[in-house]
């Protein structure tokens, strides 16, 4: 099994376990890595609900922020309900594939641009996993309707707009993208 397949399977299983009829309006993908080392990436898969957005409105500066800013996501959206990438199978699959792509480096080596390439590759894996959730119908099967997958990296906040746009049908992210998107 390839690393991409492993992440897609974990995402399908995570979304399948979400509570139906709970007001979920977005699936969340927090893209991260252990100790900010891109050789050890992981994805926290979760969700946020209408009730969460309503509660956040009291503290947020506006309705967009209450609904779409990860700063206001609940624990289920920020930490996710499951993570993929830290498990031994994923770690080994990632390492093998990174080596085959010429992206792996050891602690005593200079990354020479491989650091950024590893980050972008994992972004691509996460975008593809989100698209797979749409294409396979998993989101509709579980939630009864299409909802966007919001991808975010708290250490690269501007990437959120690009990644989320790439991962979803345009009509699902129109409201999300209505905020001034950074260039």
**pLDDT value at residue 183:** 45
Cα(3)–Cα(150) distance, integer angstroms: 21
- Distance separating alpha carbons of residues 156 and 167, to the nearest angstrom: 17
Query: Given a cut of 60, is residue 45 above it in pLDDT?
Result: yes
48 three-class SS? strand
Note whether 44 and 85 are within 8 A (CB).
no
The proportion of the chain whose per-residue pLDDT surpasses 70, expressed as a percent, equals 98
Q: Is 16 exposed, middle or buried (0-12, 13-18, 19+ CB in 10 A)?
A: exposed
Structure tokens that stand for 61 in this block: 């500066």
* Strands of 41-49's sheet in order across: 82-84, 41-49, 24-33, 149-152
Count other Cβ atoms within 10 Å, centred on residue 44: 21
Distance CA 77, CA 131 (A): 18
Highest mean pLDDT (candidates 84-88, 147-151, 153-157): 147-151
* Statement: residue 139 has pLDDT above 80: yes
- pLDDT tens per residue across span 101-133: 999 999 999 999 999 999 999 999 999 999 999
Segment 164-182 mean pLDDT: 88
What does the pLDDT read at residue 86?
87
Distance CA 147, CA 96 (A): 33
Once rounded to an integer, what is the mean pLDDT over residues 31-60?
96
- Give the containing element (helix H, strand E) for 182: none
């Amino acid at each position: 099994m390839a690393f991409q397949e492993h992440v897609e399977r974990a995402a399908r299983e995570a979304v399948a376990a979400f509570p139906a009829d709970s007001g979920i309006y977005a699936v969340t993908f927090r893209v991260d890595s252990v100790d900010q080392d891109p050789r050890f990436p992981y994805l926290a898969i979760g969700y946020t609900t209408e009730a969460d957005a309503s509660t956040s409105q009291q503290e947020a500066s506006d309705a967009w922020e209450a609904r779409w800013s990860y700063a206001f996501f609940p624990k289920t959206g920020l930490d996710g309900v499951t993570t993929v990438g830290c498990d031994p199978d994923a770690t080994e699959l990632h390492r093998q594939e990174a080596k085959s792509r010429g992206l792996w480096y050891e602690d005593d080596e200079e990354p020479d641009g491989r650091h950024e390439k590893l980050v972008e590759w994992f972004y691509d894996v996460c975008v593809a996993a989100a698209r797979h959730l749409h294409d396979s119908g998993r989101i509709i099967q579980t939630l009864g309707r299409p909802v966007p997958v919001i991808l975010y990296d708290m250490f690269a906040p501007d990437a959120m707009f690009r990644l989320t746009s790439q991962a979803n049908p345009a009509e699902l992210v129109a409201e999300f993208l209505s905020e001034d998107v950074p260039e």
